[in-house]
A = this chain, B = another copy of it.
């Protein structure tokens, strides 16, 4: 079967032939439909993140997949059922994080990630997976099933953010998303349509006209150009934010978030920056966190429950939004286009089989 893989040092994905996998007991065989591409894929391709499976000389890419069960192999699934796979798997026979259904809370070394860290991904015509990691999705949502994984990341982030404010009466009215990449835009749409947040803002550093700015404004949200309004100035120029969602990985944003927050607000951090030393007014930031009951919450990955919530959220996103968000779905013969990072690309996917 055909697969899209990255070989160390190559700098771009290649189409390879690889044997079709056989499902082990407890696993189903899934025929792949579509697999999304995101920033993590580009980092893996560039060699900045992730690693090969033990003994492998290449990594099959892809962690945002949707497929259809080809062989249920005695599991509870049914052939023909549409499914979305979760990403993390237990290495070496499992551990307590996987046993209690919280692979997203496992520390380094306690997981592999399909398509990213130590395990082949889903960018192949078929893949196998333990049935417990395959989440059923209605047929009508299957064409956009590759959005479930990124939505699940935000489901977890918001669950943790809300939990951190659950010891008091917290009703967020204003929220800022830092970053107008696809994850930022999806999150913004969830704030506007799934949650009930009155006023939302999305920060980027792009010139008008730009399709992402059009999307932001069509959502009823306000675009903030970070070159005109740096994060710490958001409260003065717009308003303090009850919730800040950091999706850029720009390390200074984690600290600037404290200034952008309203009293009792929470900043949820998702970006993964490289080491970077810089000066902060640590005294003032520390004091501000304390005197105004602010919180910063880091969050990574997601578990099956978040995928289930994400399917519900996906069903609530307006069609015009997902139509505009997905700027390209490419067949195998033009898979390279899915990895283009031209300025007008928002979200792409590779199509392995028709939905």
* Interface positions of A (Cβ within 8 A of B): 100, 102, 104-105, 107-108, 156, 159-160, 162-169, 249, 251-255, 263-264, 269-300
Candidates B282, B293, B300; contact of A280 at CB < 8 Å: B282
CB A106 to nearest CB in B, in angstroms, measures: 8
The one of B255, B275, B293 that contacts A298, using a Cβ cutoff of 8 Å: B293
A121 CB → nearest B CB, Å: 19
Instruction: Let me know if A274 and B282 touch, CB within 8 A.
Output: no
Q: Which residues of B contact A100 (CB under 8 A)?
A: 169
Per the bound structure, the CA–CA distance linking A254 and B288 in Å amounts to 11
A277 touches B281 (CB 8 A): yes
User: How far does the Cβ of A73 sit from chain B's closest Cβ, in whole Å?
Assistant: 30
In the bound complex, CA of A20 to CA of B290 (Å): 35
CB distance from A48 to the nearest CB of B (A): 12
* Identical subunits present: 2
* Given contacts A100-B169, A296-B296, A287 and B264 within 8 Å (CB-CB): no
Choose among B168, B263, B274, B284 the residue that contacts A107 (Cβ–Cβ < 8 A): B263
Return chain B residues, CB-CB under 8 Å to A298. Answer: 286, 288-295
Tell me, in angstroms, the Cα distance from A255 to B283 when the chains sit together.
10
Q: A107-B263, A167-B159, A291-B298 are in contact. Are A280 and B283 (CB under 8 A)?
A: no
A280 (CB) vs chain B CBs: closest residue: B280
Q: How far is the CA of A172 from the CA of B124 in the complex (A)?
A: 41
Set of chain B residues within 8 Å of A285, measured between Cβ atoms? 251, 254
Contacts of A270 in B (CB 8 A): 290
Q: How far is the CB of A303 from chain B (nearest CB, A)?
A: 9
Could you say which residues of chain B place their CB within 8 Å of the CB of A167? 156, 159-160, 162-163
Q: Is the CB of A300 within 8 A of B296?
A: no
A-B contact pairs, 26 of them (CB 8 A): A100-B169, A104-B293, A105-B168, A105-B169, A105-B264, A105-B293, A107-B263, A107-B292, A108-B291, A160-B164, A162-B167, A252-B282, A254-B285, A269-B290, A270-B290, A273-B283, A275-B283, A278-B279, A278-B280, A279-B280, A289-B297, A289-B298, A290-B299, A295-B296, A295-B297, A296-B296
Residues of B within 8 A of A166 (CB): 163, 166
In angstroms, Cα B270 to Cα A104, docked, is 29
| Shortest Cβ-Cβ A-B pairs, 4 listed | A289-B298, A276-B283, A107-B263, A164-B164
CB distance from A246 to the nearest CB of B (A): 8
Indicate whether A254 sits within 8 Å of B276 (C-beta atoms), given known contacts A108-B291, A295-B164: no
Q: How far apart are the CA atoms of A272 and B160 in the complex, in Å?
A: 26
Find the B residue at minimum CB distance from A263. B107
Q: Which residues of B contact A272 (CB under 8 A)?
A: 287, 290-291
Selected contact of A169 from candidates B102, B277, B291, CB within 8 Å: B102
